[in-house]
Structure 1
Amino acid sequence: MKDKAPRPYRMTARAQAAERTGERILDAMLARFATVAYDRIRLEDVAADAEVTVQTLIRRFGTKHGLLAATVEREFVRLAADRTAAMGDSPERTLHALVEYYEHHGALILKLYAEAAQAPGVPELAARSRAYHVDWCRAAFSESLEPSRDRSTRARRLAQVVALCDATTWRILRFDSGLSPHQTEQALLEMLLPLLGPQNG
């Protein structure tokens, strides 16, 4: 008689297999969403990419809307970690890391914002992402934004920094204007530095 693995181990193995399946489905949805308009994505294609049945996908995520929301939720956590890592010890280092971040993730972020309204639950996640961007800008440049300024000036300076560091500004410089990554970084720096430090009065 063959030895049977202890029940807790068998359940853990099943849970791990289910987790891997879920990750494959999310990866497949992310790959589709990155290149295909959301309303043209078919669950059949996502399931085929993930090498699962449509029934498995539906059992796990319910609907295409639910699948996109789960995908965005996972990516939000990952992107937040990458944004935290992009905080440097100077405005120059921070902007260098931010441009590198947008080179990897900017197009996907902008597509999410553009199509968020098409899926229930995703607009809330997009709003969380925007709120995180504001908090990130505040934390990344807190020392340079001079806490001693009056409240109105600090709020205006922060709003300007948020706009300059937004993915849309990166897109305008990088693609609409045809700048290289280095040129984009320099352009952002030239706009940002005057907002920081005591020279602003």
Structure 2
Amino acid sequence: MSSQSSTRQRLIQSALQLFITQGISGTTTRQIAEAAEVNEVTLFRHFGSKHGLLLGVLEESTAFQSLGQALNRHNQSAESTEQAFQEYASYCLHALEQVPDLIRSLVGEANQYPADNRLALGKRMTEVTQYMAQYLESFMAQRQLTPRFSTEKLASLLECLLLGYAVIEFTSEYHQLWNHQDDFLEHAVQMMLFGSIASDTVVSPIPQTTTVVADLPADTVHLILRQSKKQSTQDYALAYVLFGAGVSPQEVIGLLRSQQISSNQQHLLQVQGPSGSRQVAINQWIMGKRLGSYTANPLTKWLKSRKDNTPTLFIDDEQQPLTLPALEEQWAAWTEGMITLTGHPPHLKQTQQTWCIDMLMRGVTIDNLTLLTGWTLEQLHPYDQRAKEKGALEQATRLDQKPSSKD
């Protein structure tokens, strides 16, 4: 790579990172130049202005392309059309949640952009739509589904829904339009699918769904924890947080070092979720086994071993913030060869479900669990029912182990 090309790419990458963390309006050309280790004159020589640099980011950055390619790898494991669409939409929303300041700036300052910038932004949005359409076409072809509309139209509709959600979430508070991101996704996907796929492929309209709770047994959880420990210190810390704090995979990869609070009395996480900020305790006891103390456990040991300055709690091999695909790859390594009672490999989302059931079984009230999870009582009802089922089974088992008074 030539020196000129290298300088240009450094400016583009520095601008992208600053636009993501500070927004476009909150970022100055001097900050970008300093981050790229050049002077402002060099920036102006390459791009002319900040809007010229934004044009370079939109036209030359691989961020949009990488997102689309990553999304296209997620159509193999879904068991139903609805699950496939919902997982896909959830992944898209999580990507948008990583760049709220950039989204606010792109929306709020759009009328200030030159025509070239607006054309470039439109081109990038078209590319994302095309990736979505490719995903939908591949998924439907594999399952011999017949859409009533073109996959491009379906992809455009889904994109509008997701962008609309992101804009409302990032620009307003207390809107009370939906209780939780999962609530929005469930209903958005249902509305999009109903009437968009030919009736001979869908037996009946999609009903009001209920969450299917599939918690993992204790021996499986402990095996996953042991396998993660064999992988690396970070892997062990990741599994520990997933099973010990009840946070979702999306929330885990967004955690910052500053959001963990450790003392002799407690170990907490300050979690930024779709429903706002909440504190969650990291439990030392996981499914009947203790994994350390408040100040000496897999997470604190991982943090003490860190030599980098990356602010996020978990990172990849290049010391960049961990992504959801990377976390899923690590999960696959921990669970390789494992099969649950349903005949399927353990799924990453089962960590949060398992934690919820364990908390209820250990005496946490469903009202308190709403505070720890940010979910509604309605969302937690299936978990409460599952905990009662497990409690009944345990009681029946204990009775069978006691001799009858009549014997």
TM bracket (short chain) = 0.5 to 0.7
Measured after TM superposition, the shift of residue 194 of structure 1 is: 1.0
SS at match of 1:52: coil
- What amino acid is aligned across from residue 83 of structure 1 in structure 2? G
Gaps of 5+ in 1: 1-11
The percentage of counterpart residues that share the same residue type is 19
- In structure 2, the partner of 1:93 is 84
Secondary structure at the counterpart of residue 105 of structure 1: helix
Over 3 Å counting, the alpha-carbon distance change for 1:94 and 1:57 in structure 2 is same
Q: Answer yes or no: is 1:118 the counterpart of 2:119.
A: no
Greater relative contact order (Cα 8 A, min sep 6): structure 1 or 2? 1
User: What is the CA-CA distance between 1:70 and the residue it aligns to?
Assistant: 0.5
Counterpart in the other structure of 1:192: 192
Normalized per residue, the structure richer in strand is 2
- Give the match for residue 168 of structure 1: 163
- Structure 1 partner of 2:39: 53
1:138 corresponds to which letter in structure 2?
Answer: A
Q: Secondary structure at the match of 2:109?
A: helix
Letter in 2 for 1:63: S
Q: Does 1:30 align with 2:16?
A: yes
2: distance between equivalents of 1:173 and 1:141?
Answer: 26
- Provide the rounded CA distance (Å) in 1 between the counterparts of 2:179 and 2:87: 15
Q: Distance in 1 between matches of 2:86 and 2:35?
A: 36
What's the offset of the Cα at 1:46?
1.8
Given the two structures, how large is their TM-score scaled by the length of structure 1?
0.67
- Structure 1 CA distance, aligned partners of 2:129 and 2:58? 19
Please name the residue that 1:3 is paired with.
none
Determine if contact 1:83/1:98 at 8 Å carries over to the other structure: no
Letter in 2 for 1:189: V
Distance 1:161 1:65 in 2: 29
**1:60 to 1:172, Cα distance in 2 relative to 1, 3 A:** closer
- Change beyond 3 A, Cα 1:42–1:115: same
**1:66 Cα offset (Å):** 1.5
TM-score (norm 2): 0.37
Q: Report if the CA contact (8 A) 1:29-1:67 is conserved.
A: yes
Contact 1:164 1:191 in 2 (8 A): no
- Computed over aligned residues only, the root mean square deviation of the Cα atoms, in angstroms, reads 3.4
Separation in structure 1 between the aligned mates of residue 187 and residue 167 of structure 2, nearest angstrom = 11
Which of 127, 132, 136 is equivalent to 2:127?
132
- Report the AA paired with residue 51 of structure 1: E
Distance 1:21 1:68, change over 3 A: same
Q: 1:110 to 1:73 in 2, by over 3 A?
A: farther
AA aligned to 2:185 is: E
CA distance in 1, matches of 2:66, 2:94: 16
**Aligned counterparts of 2:45 and 2:134: Cα–Cα separation in 1:** 41
Counterpart-to-counterpart distance in 2, 1:132 and 1:110? 20
| Structure richer in helix, relative to its length | 1
What is the identity, as a one-letter code, of the residue corresponding to 1:42?
A: T
Q: State the one-letter code of the partner of 2:187.
A: A
Distance 1:79 1:179 in 2: 29
**Structure with bigger gyration radius:** 2
Please say if 1:66 is aligned against 2:60.
no
